[in-house]
Chain A
Amino acid sequence: MNGGALFVAVFLACAVEAVEATTIVLAAGTARDWRSALWGVAGGVVLLAIVVGALGPAVTVIPLHWLRLLVGGLLLVFGLQWLRKAILRAGGRKALHDEAKLYLEHVAAARSAATRRRGGIPDWYAFTLSFKGVVLEGLEVVFITLTFGSNQHDIPLAALAAGAAIVAVVVAGVAVRAPLARVPENTMKFVVGVMLTSFGMFWGAEGAGAHWPGSDAALAVVVPIVAVFGAGLSAFLRRTPPAAAQADPALAEVP
């Protein structure tokens, strides 16, 4: 895996998570109080930095074959879950992840909650909503960055890709002051699902003691095969869509 592939894989995965976190923070800031929402972001970032500070050095100490087995297994489980959801959405069996709808739901819930001041934070609800959004989505960013980076012995490049994705999404979110509904999220999730599944298979099998034909070059074959397999399953599901899904315009976006 070269640096470019590492950068693209981490960038895409982190961008998807950043879009979801941005939606939540925008809802908390718009419907409640920007100052409290931004304190929530800061609190979330500090907690994630502590997690990275604790896990980062620990990850580099684990012997490589154990790291690959553990990380490969986890990535494979994550990847299959992402791929499964993306295929179900593309195949019309699950509603597309609608950031605009989610944003309105968060805004409605935020507007109906009572305002409470706590510990210098003007609006505790906006703080906790924003804090939770950043921490929950950020944990996946941390996991993906550390696992991809440590396996490829290039945590700085993986961190750079994650940072670039977060900055790009936040800048876009601030510029439009609205949820990033036009991002082709399902297609991105499909691509990330393919990447996580492929790298999970490769590292997991290596960690379990297998030797891939062609060593690292096997990835160049595994990734396209997983992509074609996933696209084939999507196409198969689309060929026989359920009656309700046929009328749903949200199903237009497919990988």
Chain B
Amino acid sequence: MNVKERLRSFAHFWYDFVVGDDWRVAAGVVLALAATYGVSRTSVPAWWLVPAAVMVILPFSLWREVRRGRNR
């Protein structure tokens, strides 16, 4: 295994460790936290944004996986 392959394998391990099977989940979490930060700078309460995002992200990710399973 050369250096490039080792680096690729190292990067793949960390991607798999942090992001996991569905990158959309990680992207959704980052967006939800960014939106929370933005709203928290205003006078509007921001605590509900992350739970609301979870209520959308989780069923969406499951729906994609189920649909993918049917199309296999």
B41 at the interface (CB under 8 A from A): yes
A69 at the interface (CB under 8 A from B): yes
Which chain A residues lie closer than 8 Å to B69 at the CB level?
A: 93, 242
A213 at the interface (CB under 8 A from B): yes
Number of chain A residues close to chain B: CB under 8 A: 39
Judging by beta carbons under 8 Å apart, are A84 and B25 in contact? yes
Judging by beta carbons under 8 Å apart, are A83 and B58 in contact? yes
Mark the stretch among A2-10, A70-78, A117-125 that contacts chain B: A70-78
Judging by beta carbons under 8 Å apart, are A88 and B65 in contact? yes
Which chain B residues lie closer than 8 Å to A74 at the CB level?
A: 18
Number of chain B residues close to chain A: CB under 8 A: 35
What separation, in Å, do the CA atoms of A81 and B62 have in the docked complex?
A: 10
A80 at the interface (CB under 8 A from B): yes
Judging by beta carbons under 8 Å apart, are A84 and B36 in contact? no
B37 at the interface (CB under 8 A from A): yes
Q: How far is the CB of B9 from chain A (nearest CB, A)?
A: 12
Partner of B36, one of A140, A197, A210, A242: A210
What separation, in Å, do the CA atoms of A2 and B10 have in the docked complex?
A: 37
What separation, in Å, do the CA atoms of A140 and B18 have in the docked complex?
A: 10
Q: How far is the CB of A232 from chain B (nearest CB, A)?
A: 10
Which chain B residues lie closer than 8 Å to A144 at the CB level?
A: none
CB pairs A–B below 8 angstroms (29 shown): A73-B33, A74-B18, A76-B29, A76-B54, A80-B29, A80-B57, A83-B58, A84-B21, A84-B22, A84-B58, A84-B65, A88-B66, A93-B65, A93-B69, A197-B54, A201-B54, A205-B36, A205-B47, A207-B33, A209-B40, A209-B46, A210-B36, A210-B45, A211-B45, A211-B47, A222-B51, A233-B58, A233-B62, A242-B70
- A residues near B (Cβ < 8 Å) are 69, 72-74, 76-78, 80-81, 83-85, 87-88, 93-94, 139-140, 197, 200-201, 204-205, 207-213, 218, 222, 225-226, 229-230, 233, 237, 242
Interchain residue pairs A-B with the least CB separation, the first 4: A209-B40, A208-B36, A81-B20, A210-B46
